[in-house]
C-alpha cells in the first residue's frame, strides 16, 4: 500500500465553524498570543488561560467534521494514511481517520503541571480550577504553547520521510517546526497543497496547488487519487 502523509492546519476545520488563527477575524486577531498561549501567560494568569481553552473546547465539542475531513478518511480504502495535524480539535478522529498525530496537543485532554507524562481525558468542556493530578498539582490544557518543545516532531518528521504522496491542507505554514516538515518530504514525491489562499512555499517541480476550500479541494483530490 502506498503511504499518504497529510499535514493539516486550522483551514481544514474552518468550514466546520472553527475560526482559523491568522485570518482578519481569526483567533489571534481577537486575542494576544502572549496573553493566552505561552507558559508565561499561564504563570501570570492561569484563570484567563484556562477560560480561553475551556471556551475553545466548548466550541470544538459543538462542531462536526466536514467533507474535507471525510475525504481523508475515504483515502484509507486504498492508501496507508497518516495525518499530522497542527489542530487541537478532534475532527479528524471524529470523521474516522485512524492515524492522527497531534503536533500542538489536544483540547480534549488535560495534563499535570509537574509531570508531563500524566495526561487525562476531559469529561465535557471544562478543566475546573480545583482539579488535581495524582501528584496533587493543578491541571493545565494539553496544548503545546508558543516557546514550548514539540514532542511529536521527531515522529512526524520520520513519517513524512516515508511518504509516497504528501498533502498540505489549511495551514499558512507560519509556525515552525511544523512548517519545516515539507522539507522532510523525499525528492520526487508529489506534494498537493489545498488552500483557497495558497501559502508561500518554495517552488518545487512536483507541487500541485489546489486553490479551493478543503471541502471542495480535498474531495476533488481524493476522487483523483482513488481512481
Ligand atoms: N479550506 C482550506 N484552507 C483554508 C480554508 C478552507 N476553507 N479557510 C482558510 N484556509 C487557510 C488559510 O488560507 C490559511 O493558509 O488555512 C490557513 C490557516 O492558517 P493559520 O490561521 O495560520 O492556521 P495554522 O497554519 O493552522 O496555524 C498554525 O499556529 O497559532 C498557532 O498553534 C497554532 O496550530 C496553530 C499554528
Residues with CB under 6 A from ligand 1: 9-12, 14-15, 20-22, 26, 86, 104, 169-172, 174-175, 195-197, 199, 213-214
Residues with pLDDT less than 50, the chain: none
Whole-number pLDDT of residue 205 = 74
Whole-number pLDDT of residue 204 = 72
Query: From the CB of residue 25, how many other CB atoms can be counted at a distance below 10 Å?
Result: 8
Alpha-carbon distance of 187 to 156, in angstroms, equals 17
Residue 10 Cα, ligand 1 centroid: separation in angstroms?
4
Domain boundaries, the chain: 1-18+65-104+151-227, 19-62+109-143
Contact between residue 40 and residue 224 where contact means Cβ atoms under 8 Å apart: no
Q: Which atom of ligand 1 is nearest to the CA of 172?
A: 15
Contact between residue 103 and residue 144 where contact means Cβ atoms under 8 Å apart: yes
Whole-number pLDDT of residue 24 = 86
Alpha-carbon distance of 103 to 113, in angstroms, equals 19
CATH of domain 19-62+109-143: 3.30.1600.10
Q: Which atom of ligand 1 is nearest to the CA of 10?
A: 26
Alpha-carbon distance of 180 to 78, in angstroms, equals 27
Alpha-carbon distance of 52 to 119, in angstroms, equals 19
Nearest CA to ligand 1 atom 23: 10
Q: Which atom of ligand 1 is nearest to the CA of 103?
A: 34
The residue from 92, 102, 104, 142 that is catalytic is 104
* Pocket test residue of 13, 17, 21, 25 for ligand 1, highest count of atoms within 8 A of CB: 21
Residue 104 annotated in active site: yes
The CATH topology of domain 1-18+65-104+151-227 is Rossmann fold (3.40.50)
Same fold? 1-18+65-104+151-227, 19-62+109-143: no
Mean pLDDT value across the chain:
96
Alpha-carbon distance of 137 to 115, in angstroms, equals 9
Using CA of residue 170, residue 176, residue 182, residue 186, what is the dihedral sign? negative
Amino acid at each position: 500500500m502506498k503511504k499518504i502523509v497529510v499535514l493539516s492546519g486550522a483551514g481544514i476545520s474552518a468550514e466546520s465553524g472553527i475560526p482559523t488563527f491568522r485570518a482578519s477575524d481569526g483567533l489571534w486577531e481577537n486575542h494576544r498570543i502572549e496573553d493566552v498561549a505561552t507558559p508565561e501567560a499561564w504563570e501570570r494568569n492561569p484563570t484567563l488561560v484556562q477560560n480561553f481553552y475551556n471556551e475553545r473546547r466548548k466550541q470544538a465539542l459543538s462542531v462536526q467534521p466536514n467533507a474535507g475531513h471525510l475525504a481523508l478518511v475515504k483515502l484509507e480504502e486504498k492508501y496507508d494514511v497518516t495525518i499530522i495535524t497542527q489542530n487541537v480539535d478532534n475532527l479528524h478522529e471524529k470523521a474516522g481517520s485512524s492515524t492522527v498525530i497531534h503536533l500542538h496537543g489536544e483540547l480534549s485532554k488535560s495534563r499535570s503541571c509537574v509531570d508531563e507524562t500524566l495526561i487525562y481525558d476531559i469529561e465535557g468542556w471544562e478543566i475546573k480550577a480545583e482539579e488535581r493530578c495524582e501528584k496533587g498539582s493543578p491541571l493545565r490544557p494539553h496544548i503545546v504553547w508558543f516557546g514550548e518543545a514539540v514532542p511529536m516532531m521527531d515522529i512526524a518528521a520520520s513519517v513524512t520521510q516515508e511518504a509516497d504522496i504528501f498533502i498540505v491542507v489549511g495551514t499558512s505554514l507560519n509556525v515552525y517546526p511544523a512548517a519545516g516538515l515539507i522539507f522532510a518530504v523525499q525528492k520526487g514525491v508529489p506534494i498537493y497543497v489545498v488552500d483557497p489562499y495558497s501559502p508561500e512555499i518554495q517552488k518545487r517541480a512536483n507541487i500541485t496547488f489546489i486553490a479551493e476550500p478543503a471541502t471542495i479541494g480535498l474531495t476533488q483530490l481524493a476522487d483523483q487519487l482513488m481512481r
